[in-house]
């Protein structure tokens, strides 16, 4: 089958072969560490900002592909709690790109059934960006084709600390006993509390690490790496990652054929 994505004037603008995918073994939740925007730009003798702009284009394309091939949850790492250490101009540009993305994509995403969410310390972002996030999340809250989680000011450790604080407060308030603290109670206090854990975590640009992304949720995720920089990541890469995922033997700590 040839995947199709129609623009409003009905012209196909994405074309890829997803025949190698088994529809019964699709990962429900795919998470992506979109790395290598800076290197993509440097390779071309361009300022890093160009890499980030090209990264937005890659994201647009991958979100479309995800809706077309039937992924239900896509989480993308757009800005980590550590990214504040970057030069102020780069941080400002990234924040502007998030805002512009919401302005320019909201109609299209909404019409395609995408539910937009943000995960991370959103209350530390500018008021204007927070306002746009609230508008976009409210407007798309009932969409159910794809949940798009955009991780901004996100850190896996900070997320676990936040959960531990909430749980501790419940214990202090005598709403929970210490014995009642389980894996589920931690999961329930994460940003992703109503979503399945990621099945597949993809990282672009050659580095082989998680960099504080979905640490709790990725305990049993399959990891897939590519040397391609994020702006070069196309539908074919996503399809290859999923095809490789479908060949993996997932045992979740158990045995394949217990005797």
Q: Cite the active site residues.
A: 35, 83
For 162, counting Cβ atoms within 10 Å of its Cβ (0-12 exposed, 13-18 middle, 19+ buried), the class is middle
Indicate whether 155 belongs to the interface with ligand FPP (CB under 6 A): no
φ, ψ (nearest 5 deg) of residue 146:
-145, 135
Residue number of the CB closest to ligand FPP reads 38
Q: What is the dihedral of CA 31, 184, 147, 248, to 10 degrees?
A: 40
Least distance (Å) from ligand FPP to the CB of residue 166? 27
Say whether residue 35 binds ligand FPP (CB under 6 A). Answer: yes
Closer of 29 and 52 to ligand FPP (Cβ) = 52
8 A C-beta contact, residue 154 and residue 80:
yes
Instruction: Check residue 154 for interaction with ligand FPP (CB under 6 A).
Output: no
Q: How far apart are CA 19 and CA 34, in angstroms?
A: 25
Q: 3-state DSSP helix/strand/coil percent for the chain, to nearest 5?
A: 45, 20, 35
Give the relative orientation of helices 48-69 and 235-247 as an angle to the nearest 10 degrees.
Answer: 60
Cα dihedral 190, 192, 194, 196 in deg (nearest 10): -120
Helix or strand (DSSP H, E) at 48: helix 48-69
Shortest separation between residue 118's beta carbon and ligand FPP, angstroms: 9
Binding characters for ligand FPP, 206-245, by CB under 6 A (x = yes): ------------------------x---------------
Q: Which is nearer to ligand FPP, 21 or 118 (CB)?
A: 118
**Stretch touching ligand FPP by CB under 6 A, among 51-59, 135-143, 186-194, 209-217:** 51-59
Question: Is residue 116 close enough to count as binding ligand FPP by CB under 6 A?
Answer: no
56 binds ligand FPP (CB under 6 A): yes
**Which stretches of the chain bind ligand FPP, using CB under 6 A?**
34-39, 52, 55-56, 59, 78, 83, 94, 97-98, 101, 150, 205, 230
């Amino acid at each position: 089958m040839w995947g199709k994505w129609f623009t409003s004037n009905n012209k196909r603008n994405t074309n890829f072969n997803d025949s190698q995918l088994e529809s019964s073994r699709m990962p429900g939740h795919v998470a992506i560490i979109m790395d290598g925007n800076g290197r993509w730009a440097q390779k071309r003798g361009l300022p890093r900002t160009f890499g980030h702009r090209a990264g937005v284009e890659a994201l647009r394309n991958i979100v479309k592909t995800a809706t077309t091939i039937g992924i239900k949850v896509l989480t993308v790492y757009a800005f980590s709690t550590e990214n504040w250490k970057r030069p102020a101009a780069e941080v400002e540009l990234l924040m502007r790109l998030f805002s512009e993305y919401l302005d320019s994509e909201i109609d299209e995403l909404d019409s395609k059934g995408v539910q937009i969410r943000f995960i991370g310390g959103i209350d530390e972002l500018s008021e204007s960006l927070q306002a746009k996030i609230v508008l976009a999340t409210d407007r798309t809250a009932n969409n159910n084709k794809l949940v798009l989680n955009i991780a901004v000011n996100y850190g896996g450790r900070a997320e676990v600390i936040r959960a531990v604080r909430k749980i501790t407060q419940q214990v202090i308030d005598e709403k929970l006993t210490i014995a009642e603290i389980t894996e589920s109670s931690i999961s329930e206090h994460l940003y992703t509390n109503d979503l399945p854990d990621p099945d597949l975590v993809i990282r672009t640009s050659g580095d082989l690490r998680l960099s504080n992304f979905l640490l709790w949720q990725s305990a049993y995720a399959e990891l897939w790496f590519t040397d391609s920089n994020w702006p070069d990541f196309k539908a074919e890469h996503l399809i290859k990652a999923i095809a490789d995922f479908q060949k993996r033997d997932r045992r979740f700590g158990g045995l394949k054929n217990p005797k």
